[in-house]
């Protein structure tokens, strides 16, 4: 998985390098090159499903509500809002307990927005 906002530059780079017959992907790591080769060889789709780190960080530092104020273009890379957050789920209560309440519910909410965004893009693609 990679960040959803890297999907377009990744596909452009993949297409450009395929046209040139190049084995390298500009600006992308060896890990992504390996995954790309595997996908091409097996005719699999590459799905960029992770929320961009800056938006998960925004949730952590300012709360889930802050995502309502980002521009429409940026909202393409995250799960549609409003997102339902269930603070009673064990995975999120565990995060909250292990963080000893640091940042209140924002830490588990930032994980929840990562989880829900990934699920959204996987199902969409």
| Span 57-84, pLDDT tens digits | 999 999 999 999 999 988 988 999 888 9
pLDDT band, very low/low/confident/very high, at 33 (cuts 50, 70, 90): confident
Tell me, yes or no, whether 36 and 61 share the same domain: no
Query: pTM for the complete prediction?
Result: 0.72
Q: Which domain holds residue 99?
A: 53-124
- The Cα–Cα gap between 103 and 98 comes to 12
Answer whether residue 30 is part of any domain.
Answer: yes
In a domain, 78, yes or no: yes
Q: What angle do CA 38, 23, 15 make, to 5 degrees?
A: 80
If asked whether residues 28 and 83 sit together in one domain, one would say no
Do 22 and 69 reside in the same domain of the chain?
no
Same domain membership, residue 77 and residue 31? no
- Characterize 87-114 residue by residue with b for buried, 16 or more Cβ atoms within 10 angstroms of its Cβ, and e for exposed: eeeeebeebbeeeeeebebbbbbbbbbb
pLDDT > 70 in the chain, percent: 75
Same domain, 28 and 63: no
More confidently predicted of 65 and 15: 65
């Amino acid at each position: 998985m990679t960040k959803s906002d890297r999907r377009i530059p990744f596909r452009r780079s993949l297409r450009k390098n395929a046209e040139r017959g190049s084995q390298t992907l500009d600006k992308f790591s060896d890990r992504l090159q390996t995954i790309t080769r595997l996908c091409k060889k097996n005719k699999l789709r590459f799905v960029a499903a992770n929320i961009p780190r800056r938006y998960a960080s925004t949730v952590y530092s300012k709360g889930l509500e802050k995502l309502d104020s980002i521009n429409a273009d940026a909202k393409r890379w995250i799960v549609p809002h409003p997102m339902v957050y269930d603070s009673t789920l064990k995975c999120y209560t565990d995060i909250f307990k292990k963080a000893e309440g640091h940042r209140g519910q924002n830490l588990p909410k930032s994980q929840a927005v990562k989880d829900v965004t990934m699920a959204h893009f996987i199902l969409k693609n």
